[in-house]
Each structure stands twice: as structure tokens, then as C-alpha cells.
Homo-oligomer: A and B are copies of this chain.
Amino acid sequence: IAKEVAKLLEMKAQLGGDEGKPKFVLKTPKGTRDYGPKQMAIRERVFNAIISCFKRHGAEVIDTPVFELKETLTGKYGEDSKLIYDLKDQGGELLSLRYDLTVPFARYLAMNKITNIKRYHIAKVYRRDNPAMTRGRYREFYQCDFDIAGQFDPMIPDAECLKIVHEILTELQLGDFVIKVNDRRILDGMFAVCGVPDNKFRTICSSVDKLDKVPWEEVRSEMVGEKGLSPEAADRIGEYVQLHGGLELIEQLLQDPKLSQNKLAKEGLGDMKLLFEYLTLFGITGKISFDLSLARGLDYYTGVIFEAVLLQQQNEHVDELLGVGSVAGGGRYDGLVGMFDPKGRKVPCVGVSIGIERIFSILEQRLEATEEKIRTTETQVLVASAQKKLLEERLKLISELWDAGIKAEMLYKKNPKLLNQLQYCEDTGIPLVAIVGEQELKDGVVKLRIVASREEVNICRENLVEEIRTRTSQP
């Protein structure tokens, strides 16, 4: 009975409402999360690495609204369109939350008649997908996009996008990775020579896209069963999509009696060869795999496509929890801007999108495992007092420090205990304490305590700012 009563009391406590307050669920919406100070510290590290890389490659930055006219997004995402969040019709325009940053970018280019830009854009996008939050799959998540728009000589911007993915994944030290590369024209040429009817290219492409998650047999039966492809065509595709390699595979396929007869495939393979030459100059072919099973889900790609996959985690804990997955992807979309231009004028584009959430998950769990303590503030000094009735002196001193650009805090108490003030520094990692006491005030000094060593030195008030700067400057 006692057990039952305890259970009931617990249920009552969960329901709340003891004081007649309205009951409601205290949570963030499904598939979303808050970022507390610790998570934000990790997030800012990752953003800094990514932004540094984008800036190193000379990118400008833009921003667009979180929602677009619904019609702007219509017809761009194929089967994924059902995942778009719509806003309620409250009178006025029909709006949807952005699904990625690529379509808003194309809309921006067409609207402003821009034919030449290299830009990055870091912002949240929204998908009504099935969330798997421990694996870093959310309904609200960041994309970090870098795109090059303009009419240029082939494969030079495309190679730079791959170089960027390589730089970022190396810098973030997420463990070993591979960047799979393919070309929509090679896929389409392959479908043609395998006997896929023209009108089935996109839907068969969607099936191929599932090969990173399900085995070929399942994909094959979807092609034949659901999508009505002939078993012979499916088997021919099956032979191609297990191929992956480097320059030698490209050469081999350029000699393939069937593929080499197809104009699209030949173009794609020629460009792929050029791409690999540039990647060799960049010294990164070791992590690049030309992979005929890579298809990418989105409708708008027209040329090179790629996807970066983490191969394994360095940390065993993480391995169990996370598995392995895609952290970046992109490709060439030469037709998308033209869809927005009233005259259909095209602006060739190629770009890459870094998926941050999965990277966060890995780093967050790695940090938890190592129990490394990370600071969530940058405070250099705590302004403290050794005796009572010194609030006014603390306020005067901290104001001087703030005005001199020093990062300073104080406890919001009239008469805090010195021990509590020192404890606050220990807890939050503040390296210095500036202590005012009656004697120090008389002598025109401040006692500066170094938290780590417990050393204390009296510093002339007029030299205090300089002393704090010196002692907290990064080497």
C-alpha cells in the first residue's frame, strides 16, 4: 500500500497544480532543444572554426528571413516537400519556414540580379522530420552554407568546396572521414544506359540515395516493386552502384563501352577527372572517394554532388551512442536561380552545407566523457571586499574596470563573505580577485589575488588595469 501511495503522490507531483495553477507542459517543441551556457561554449568553438575557414576562402556573409513566401519553396524539394513547416494563415501572405539555405540564396540572387558572389550563411532551418535527438537529428537545426555563384571555368569552384569540407573536418578533429563524390550527369547517363525510362530518373535516383542506410537488395526491390523498373535494368544499376574509387575508376568508366557512348555520362566523367586533378594539387585525394552509389535527395542538383561521412569515432563511448553519419553535403545546382528569374536566366552555383548538430552531439558527448571543465564566461577579475559596508567601494572600482574594458564581476550582495567570493571564482574559473578593504583604501591600493596560486599582491590603484591586462593576456 505504501508503494502505491508513493506512486500516486509522485503522479500528483508530476501533474503539479497544487495551488490551483493551470496545468501545462513545460518543454520545448518536439525535435528542438535549448542550448545552455556549456553547449553554447562548444557551439561557438565549432562556429569559429567554420567561419574562419569560410573567411579564409574570401567569402562574404548574407542573411535572409527565417520564413519565405510559401510559393518560393514550392517545387524545389521533391518528395521532401511534405516536411516543410507552414505558418498559419492569419491574413496576408502564405508563409513557410525555410527548409534549407540554398533556395533562399537562389531567391536572393534572382531578386537582386546578382550573377557573381561567394558567400556564406549560417542559420537555422526547419524540417518536420522524425527527430532522433541523441544522434543529432532535430527539427530545428543549423546549416553552415558556403556557395559560389557565377559563370566560371569548370570544376575550379567545385574543387574549392571540397577543399573547404576537408579543412573544416580536419580542424574539428572528429576522427577519420571520407568525402564521397559523384555527378548527377553520371547518374543520369548510367540510368539511361541501364534502360531506366526518362520519366523515372528522379524517382530511381531517390531509391539509389537510400543505399547508405539500407542494403542493395532492399533498394532493388523498391525499384522493381514500388517503382515498376524492370529487373534487368535494376540489376545493371546494381553493378554500377557498387563501384567506388579514384582516378583509375574514372579512367575505367571513360573506357566503359556503354557509359562512354552516353553524352551526359561522358561530360560528367570528363569533369570528374578534372576535379580529381585539382584535388590532387590540393593534396586531399586521400579522403575523397568517387562513389557511384551517392545520389543526394534534393531535386535541384545538376552536376557534381558530394557528401562527407565520419568513419568512426575516436572515443568508444561515443561510438555506441552515435553511430556514423553524414556531416556535410552539397553539389552543383545550375538551374535553381533560373527558376526564380522571370526570364529564366541561369546563374551556375555550387556549394556545401555543413551540418552542425551531429558534430555538436559528438563533441558534447566527448566532453562529458573527458570531464574537461570549460569556462562559460570570460570574466578576468572578481571585485570583492574583505569587510562589510564596502558595497559602494566595490561599485566604484568595478565601474572603473568596466570603463577600461576589463571583464569584471561582483556578487550582488551588500555584504558578501570573502569565502563565498573566492568560492565563486573557483566555481566559474575567474583567475583574479581584486579585493578592497579599509586598509587598502587608506593606502590607495587594491589587493590582487591570483586564484590558482593563492598569491596576493598589493597593486597601486592607478596600475590595476594594466596589471590585470598583463596577468590575463593570452601568450
Q: Which of A35-43, A324-332, A364-372 is near enough to bind chain B?
A: A35-43
Residues in B with CB closer than 8 Å to A86 are: 87-88, 90
The interface size bin for chain A is 35 or more
Cα-based distance from A86 to B15 in the complex (angstroms) = 27
- Contact segment of A24-32, A260-268, A286-294: A24-32
- Say yes or no: A19 contacts B343, CB within 8 Å: yes
Q: Give chain B residues whose Cβ lies under 8 Å from the Cβ of A57.
A: 402, 407-409
The reply to whether the CB of A107 lies closer than 8 angstroms to some CB of chain B is yes
- A174 interface residue, CB < 8 Å from B? no
Q: Is A377 a contact partner of B69 (Cβ separation < 8 A)? A: no
A377 adjacent to B55 (CB under 8 Å): yes
In the complex with contacts A93-B30, A412-B150, A62-B35 CB distance below 8 A: yes
A92-B163 in contact given A58-B407, A59-B377, A60-B37 (Cβ < 8 Å): no
Q: Tell me the complex Cα distance, A40–B117, Å.
A: 15
Contact with A37, one of B30, B61, B93 (Cβ below 8 angstroms): B61
In the complex the two chains form, is B343's CB within 8 Å of A16's CB?
A: yes
Q: Chain B residues near A150 (CB, 8 Å)?
A: 412
* Residue A66 lies at the interface, judged by CB distance under 8 Å to chain B: yes
Within 8 Å by CB of A26, from B15, B66, B340, lies B340
- Give the contact stretch, choosing among A177-185, A206-214, A276-284: A276-284
Decide if B406 touches A56 in the complex (CB within 8 Å): yes
- A:141-174 near B, CB below 8 Å: 148, 150, 152-153, 156-157, 159, 163, 167
Q: Is there a chain B Cβ closer than 8 Å to A376's Cβ?
A: yes
Rounded to whole angstroms, the CA-CA distance of A378 and B159 in the bound complex is 21
Asked if A37 and B58 sit within 8 Å, CB to CB, the answer is no
Chain B residues lying within 8 Å of A9, measured Cβ to Cβ, are none
Residues of B with C-beta under 8 A to A377: 55, 58-60
CB of A188 closer than 8 Å to a CB of B: no
Please determine whether B111 and A27 come into contact, CB atoms closer than 8 angstroms.
Answer: yes
In the complex, A62→B39 CA distance in Å? 8
B34 adjacent to A66 (CB under 8 Å): no
Given A85-B90, A395-B278; A140-B65 close (CB under 8 Å): yes
Of B35, B126, B152, B409, the residue contacting A412 (CB under 8 A) is: B152
Q: Contact string, A84-98, partner B, CB cutoff 8 A, digits 1/0?
A: 011111101101010
CA distance A57 to B377 in the complex (A): 9
User: A25, A67, A124: which has the most chain B beta carbons within 10 Å?
Assistant: A67
Q: Which residue of B lies closest to A104 (CB)?
A: B34
Does chain B have a CB within 8 A of A474? Answer: no
CA distance A402 to B412 in the complex (A): 47
Given A28-B68, A342-B17, A399-B283 in contact, is the A34-B58 Cβ separation under 8 Å? no
Tell me the bound Cα distance from A414 to B377 in angstroms: 48
Among A26, A27, A107, A117, which residue has the most Cβ atoms of chain B within 10 A? A26
Which B residues touch A406, using CB under 8 A?
56
Tell me whether A58 and B376 are in contact (CB under 8 A). no
Q: Which residue in B24, B55, B402 is a CB contact (below 8 Å) of A378?
A: B55
Chain B residues with Cβ below 8 Å from A399 are 163, 281-283
Contacts A63-B40, A140-B65, A281-B396; is A29 near B93 (CB within 8 Å)? yes
Residues from 67 to 125 in A contacting B, C-beta threshold 8 Å: 67-69, 71-72, 85-90, 92-93, 95, 97, 107-108, 110-112, 117, 119, 124
- A215 is an interface residue with CB less than 8 A from chain B: no
Residue A373 is within 8 A (CB to CB) of chain B in the complex:
no
23 A–B pairs (Cβ distance < 8 Å), ordered by A:
A18-B342, A24-B69, A25-B69, A29-B68, A30-B92, A34-B108, A34-B111, A35-B64, A36-B62, A37-B60, A37-B62, A40-B60, A40-B61, A56-B405, A57-B407, A59-B377, A87-B97, A90-B128, A153-B414, A156-B412, A156-B413, A159-B395, A282-B399
Further 14 A-B residue pairs, CB within 8 A, beyond A17-B342, A37-B117:
A19-B343, A21-B343, A29-B65, A32-B65, A34-B64, A34-B111, A37-B60, A56-B402, A85-B90, A88-B89, A92-B128, A153-B414, A163-B402, A282-B395
